[in-house]
Structure 1
Amino acid sequence: MTSYGRAPHRPELAGIVQRLWYVEDPGSTGLEVKLPTSTAQLLINLSGDRLSCGGADRRETVGPYALASIQTGPQVLDRTEQRRLVGVVIRPEAIGGLARLPADAIGPLAALDELWGGWAERLREVAEPAAGGAEALDRVEAELVQLARPGDGPVADPLVRQVIDRLRRNERIGTIGDRVGLSQSSWTRRFRTAVGLSPKRYQRVLRLERVIALAREGDAGRRDWADLAITAGYYDQAHLVGDFTELTGTSPTRWFRGRPEVAFHGPLSAR
């Protein structure tokens, strides 16, 4: 497997795009599970005509380019769709602006041609002939700069960026309105429009990311879940286990027993 990733080079995209990545794995087969993360992604399949994802009871399939929104449950992915794939990680405060509709109206997988028309196909057309990952990302990024053209209006909501920073610090949601100078109903509505989740559910995803990162850093055979729980912002170990299980469909011990190579991707058997 070949993979490549980097931060955006174009300053116009700094407030919209967090990271770009490319993976090429011609022999990739089977299914895998992806855990919730705090960002959305643009996906461009360069080796096939579809992208799909789903939970335990529902599966969605669209064409070869899609916007994968933030989810609060595990998603089953088809690894054959990763044989040559470009991804663009979108900053959460920019999801609604980028999609050009409220983020909480977007499904798990939105077809980009329905959001952007022919421009979606243009993204694949510029990336497809690239000789490798670095060139593919350069080509896609050059095309994405059009999102930040002057006069089109802001894509990212700066107030939501402030709120996300506070949620990352595990601040209580009830105190954030005083900090940003808006009523809770006002800033919560703006948050849902930009991000697609309520602040409370988004904060739970942030804690999940944090505890997974901490667990991967330590000794795999000697994880102290009680200590990790407090460090990651949970009340206690029981809070961690309950939240982890609800968001991922499995316990932390079972997930890490599968020894996933990538932080938020693993075999179905780990569920």
Structure 2
Amino acid sequence: MIILSPMEDAFIPDDLLLKDLFDSLPRQSIFIWYPPSVSRARLNNIYGSIAVQAVSKAAQKRDSFVTLGQDGGCKTVVGQREVISAGLLQIVLAFLADPALDIASKERHTMVSHLLNVSVLETTKPITVGYRVKLSSGEAVDVEASRMIRWERENSKLYVQRGDGAGAAAGYKEKIEFATNFADEVARGLLFETPDRIPSLAELVKVGSLLDFQDDAVKYLLKSKNLQLFPEDEAFLNAASLGGSKKC
């Protein structure tokens, strides 16, 4: 059975994580239909040409997180360096130092200082992100997903929630989920004024996280992307203190 919907109520599923969230709802699908015999890329171009929205563009994002409860829902992570590592800072600085971005050394050092100054806190409270798409009827369709990281940039706090993962398979999933969430938070927090650059930095940080920011691996990763640390950036890192842990 084919169900016809207004164009405003159908979306191109260009983000599979969002697609899974909205498909989990017990309601009619909000996504365009793909006949098995037609190229999906061609259909995406056709739908896009008549102003059908991609779900990644249409979905409105909202965070949901209670920082502290009476039960003491968060505690200090032992050592900031566990999360804000030297390898992470090298990746971020090398990315910002790319001549194509034309960011002065003083400005990129100021940007990285936002990472250096965070208090890293582990929380037992759920960290969630919600997404909403609005339909032509005025109805809104809402979904929620859990997150493992939240950076409150204005408060200089980075909240971390790690799962209990059981077994090797669960551990791998948890590792890549953490790396993806962490990279997204770092990139969005640093590049909120240049959102078109966010995916590139997020991908670099994600790979670095999956490599545990191991020094030789980070150096090779940067070279493979034609990125490098300049002397002024190395001097900045050498002089910087990652600091200790703070109380929640």
TM-score bin, normalised by smaller chain = under 0.3
Q: Which has the higher contact order (CA 8 A, sep 6+)?
A: 2
Greater C-alpha radius of gyration: 2
